Amino acid sequence: MDRNAGVSDFVLLSEITEDSIIENLKVRFKADAIYTYIGNVVVALNPFKSVSLYGDEWIRRYKGANLWERDPHIYAIADGAFRDMQDRNRDQCVIVTGESGAGKTEASKIFLRYIAAVSSLTDKVDHVKDRLLNSNPCLEAFGNAKTLRNDNSSRFGKYMDVQFDFRGRPTGGIITTYLLEKSRVVNAAEGERNFHIFYQLLRGADDALLEKLHLKRSIADFSYLRKSQCDTVANVDDSQSFKEVMRALQMVEMEKDTISMLLEGIAAILHIGNISFELGEEGECNLANVDALESAAKLLGISSSALKQCLTYRLVKDQAKDHKNTISVPLNPDQACFARDGLSKALYGRLFQHLVQKINHHLNGTTNQKERNVIGVLDIYGFEVMQKNGFEQFLINYCNEKLQQLFIELTLKSEQDEYARENIGWTEITYFNNRTICELIESKRTGIIAFLDEECARPGEVTDLTFLDKVETNQAKHPHFQSRINAKSDKFLLSSAAFRLKHYAGDVNYSVDGFLERNKDHLTSATLEAMKGSSRFAELFPEQSGSKRPETLATQFRTSMNLLIENIKLKNPHYIRCLKPSDKRPGVFDEELVRHQCRYLGIQESVRVRRAGFAFRLRYDKFLERFKMLSNATWPNFADPREGTQLILKDLRIAEEEYAFGATKVFIKHPSTLFQIEEARNTQKHGLATHIRAVYLGYIRRKLYKAEMRSLIVLQALARMKHSSAQYSRMRNATLMITANFRGYVARKLVRGLRRKIPKYAAAIIQRAWRRHRTCIFLSLAAKAARIANGRWRKVDWPYVPGGMGVVQFGSMQLHPGVNGGKRMSGRFAGGGGNRPQSGGKKRSAQKEERIVSGSASGSSKRAADVLKRMYERNEAAKYRKALDLDIRLQLEWKIVILDSFKEKETYKEGIWQRSHGCHLDSETVQALKAKWDKLVFNTSESIIASLTTTKLHRHTPTKSAPRITFLTAVALYNVDPKTWGLKEVIPLSEISSLSVSPYKDGIVVIHGEGKMTSSSNTIEGNRSKSSVAPLNASNTALADLKPWKGDLILDVESRAVEFASRLYLEVKHRNQQPKLNISTSLYYMVAGKSHTLAFQKESNPPKQRIKKASGEKDCFVVAVF
């Protein structure tokens, strides 16, 4: 971009003419300088190509810069709006205007991207920014389309309020839309396209989604899309666009169900468009495409009969029955097509509004004006003149008339009116005031919209021609209205049902064909009833059939436009005037096309106003409040705002011709003067900031000084206290030393006297008394430690053992340190007896004992203390065991057996850490066992200790096996056949001599015995009848009836080897026996007096048959284990 190309601000042109403005635009356009100022208004040319004027570097260049410091750019307007909102707490609004294809949508995107880039950066703010920016692709997909003038034309108006908190961080937004061109859904002009989303869905969705929506990829298969004979856009990939739209919907956190509903609605519209009608033999309306009807009905969530009914019939109230009943009246094919298209338009319009509502919900916008500032962005349709202009063009151009009127009021007219009010002399400028055209269209009684609504509501036969007649009758004399009555020489108006309006942008002919129907925008009662019964789209049709007539589309649009204008008036406006240099041809500048746009945008009038007037104006009180620091006379306060303003300008030495004083405001002529004042303010702000910083730092330093002084006083007090304490300690120690020495002197003197009087044996008595004293101290400390430990006796903090501890009395036991390992039984302390002298033998014995006791006091005292601690722990452990439940005690006893005897088994830890419940049978087996109990056991009073399913291995050939149910009682071990419930083996516990297991993770247990056992294949009843098993108890011993022991029993209990073997081991032990336990890799067992071997081998992948005969060994079998 050439910065010196042309003039960057039209105000600086030497001559203000239309030709000079066009020439300046052309020069700058050729140099890629597409932006030019008119004061604070930016004029933007659409280059129809990519230009290097955007990005992070350009954003940094414009951030915080004054409007005239940098080249003209949308970034400068955006930065000015953002800073004005922050500095002055004023709501802002940017109005983007221009005709279709001028780049309004792209300009609004550039504006929003800059605001998003310069606002505060936090994770939450970035999340809000992403949702705001990603709302644009969603709305463009559903609301934009390719037209003859623009490949991405907005077919709806959009106003977005971006909301900020007091720190300038985006917090949310609200989007308002205006007049979606729903007629494009059913009838796009030749060479144009329907809305983008239709083509994106067909080309970008995957096959599964298309199959779910009953769609095909071919555009030609759908009537609504093939009419215009245009289905592509140059340099646009619809497939990629669809992915971007889906990604954008996810970024705004749209629910999956909502996305699915939107796509189903789009697909349903395509299927509805394929429904065609034909006239039947009896004049009825028949469907020509049933498949399309069924697909549409399925997607809409209604029955195909209901959809057919609403398309081929209409409901009419029965006047004979006071309108309480309705009559179904059949439609002809043309009427059915009209009903079909009406349903498609209504469904698409409501889907679009539903999308906008969902986006607003996820943008977290609020309507509370007190809690936020906003920057509004208005991107609305440009002025349109088509080959055939209808109802939509009428409303679009009415919108542009309103915006032009607003621009005139806010710039040209307000400028002149303000100068007049402030008594500022300047040259009057004539301009085109389009208020009369706006009144012609929107007047509540005589406006075109009022006549249109009146015809729509009037009973009887009304047509578009009756509407035209009424408008011609009432507006024939209006200077901006022409029709066949007042333009008799105009062939076009005479030959067609149309009227002409003289807009500010030029004359436009409007065909009234379809005005009434499009203005009504109502659904038929039959269609409304059918859609209210939809399982997917009923929420989009909340109105009740037969309720009050809703407002017409034109009235709704007029109301929304008036609300929009009032909203903009409350904000500080900024303008971006977009121009189209050519018809989508990069690098081409069509002077006539640009001239026409400059005329209806009022570019020349805007330049003349800025050139003749003042660039800046501000109320005296506001000027004084902002710039009072620039004069010593006005800082910090001044009473008279006007006099204070004069003093400030005088002190700044501003030339008198550069400003003027009005009644309430001061006016600055050139932007450079204002920039000079702002620079002086910024410089002075730095000086004030330095002064404030100095005052603040002084306050902080004084505060720190006071805190340090308080700390110093405290330190001094502590130092004096420490010094005094040390001095007192020295004096006290000296006093104690003196008194100790004196007492020592007295004691030694007394001892010397006593030595002459007391016999020698008194020393032993004194030693015993001393040791007793030390022992009492230790015992009291031990008792205190035991009381403190309480239940935590395992972690008792045993006291330090003092030296010289004597005999410790504990019950009837005396602990003599150093004598016989620290223990000797006696009834009282050794030496007994008072102060009487002992006889010779006893005296020598006592002296010998005392020598032994005192000779090893240190080590012996420690051993005595250890003995006492062990006695204490054993006593506490005994009390702990007695307090336990019987079940817990048995569990602990069983765990101890596992820990002591089975630690060589790899699975012993599982038995320790798992609590065993004994019974491992299912409920059905348990019930059967209870039923057979009295026929199985020796004594019916026996209880089961453990029960489980096992596998008995054959003694001769362990590769063979048989299933068993094994249960253990306190008397015997029983094996039962689970199929016949035959009692197979009964082994009395008294006959079990030893158990054998391997050290591995297998479940094989070998039970060895030398006595007798039962081993029968008969059933339980047979055994009982023969009395082969007799009760085994103290009163009845029937071991003689048991069959001889055939050999050791081999059981495979799988994963419960440790649990089962330990249980059996413990129960045999309870029979006053001490069974042997063999844990080895080779287990020997006896069969009929002959020894056999099971050898265990570890393998990484053992075969299915894990027991096999050893090669070369006759009675040896190999067991493969993990």
What burial class does residue 5 get, using C-beta atoms within 10 Å of its C-beta: 0-12 exposed, 13-18 middle, 19+ buried? middle
Sign, Cα dihedral of 565, 567, 572, 577: negative
Cα distance between residue 406 and residue 428, in whole Å: 20
3-state DSSP assignment of residue 377: strand
From residue 69, alpha-carbon distances to 62, 154, 264, 671 in Å are: 9, 34, 52, 10
Q: Do 107 and 578 meet the contact criterion of CB atoms below 8 Å apart? A: yes
Distance between CA 803 and CA 783 in Å, rounded?
A: 19
- Say how far apart CA 649 and CA 624 lie, in whole Å: 10
Is the four-CA dihedral 197, 203, 205, 210 of positive or negative sign? positive
Rounded distance between C-alpha atoms, residue 649 and residue 645, angstroms:
6
> Is 382 annotated as catalytic?
yes
Count the neighbouring beta carbons within 10 Å of the beta carbon of residue 618: 18
CA–CA separation, 740 vs 737, rounded Å?
5
Contact at 8 Å (CB) between 21 and 557?
no
Catalytic residue among 382, 602, 662, 1009: 382
Give catalytic status of residue 153 as yes or no. yes
* C-alpha separations of 212 from 206, 220, 260, 534, 858 in Å: 10, 20, 11, 18, 94
Supply angle C-alpha 897, 900, 902, rounded to 5: 80
Burial of 700 (0-12, 13-18, 19+ CB in 10 A): exposed
Q: How far apart are CA 1074 and CA 987, in angstroms?
A: 17
Task: Give every CB contact of residue 996 below 8 A, 6+ residues apart in sequence.
Answer: 1005, 1006, 1008, 1077, 1078, 1079, 1080, 1083, 1084, 1085
Q: Which of 46, 100, 483, 631 is the catalytic position?
A: 100
What CA–CA distance (Å, rounded) separates 41 from 17? Answer: 18
646, 660 Cβ separation under 8 angstroms: no
DSSP secondary structure string for all residues of 581-601: -SSS-TT---HHHHHHHHHHH
- Residue pair 1106/1025 in contact (Cβ under 8 Å)? The answer is no
Question: Pick from 904, 1002, 908: which is nearest to 958 by CA?
Answer: 1002
Residue 1079's Cβ-count burial label (10 Å; 0-12, 13-18, 19+) is middle
Q: Which of 154, 373, 673, 975 is catalytic?
A: 154
Q: Catalytic pick from 134, 136, 150, 901? A: 150
Contacts of 641 (CB under 8 A, 6+ apart): 619, 620, 621, 623, 624
Residues 6+ apart with CB under 8 A from 166: 373
Tokens matching residue 230: 């245009």
Mark whether 154 is an active-site residue: yes
Residues 35 and 76: their CA atoms lie apart, in Å, by 11
Q: Look up 105 and say whether it is catalytic.
A: yes
Q: Which residues does residue 787 pair with via DSSP β-bridges, in sequence order?
A: none
Q: What is the DSSP letter of 463?
A: -
CB 82 within 8 A of CB 74: no
DSSP three-state, residue 513: coil
Catalytic residue among 153, 373, 411, 673: 153
Q: Which of 98, 101, 273, 602 is catalytic?
A: 101
Dihedral sign computed on CA atoms, order 778, 781, 786, 787: positive
Place of tokens 């040896």: 1116
Which position among 40, 46, 105, 916 bears the catalytic label? 105
For residue 387, the tally of other CB atoms under 10 A from its CB is 7
Half-sphere exposure for 472 (CA within 13 Å, toward CB): 20
**Catalytic residue chosen out of the listed positions 384, 529, 605, 850:** 384
Active site (catalytic) residues: 100-101, 105, 150, 153-154, 382, 384
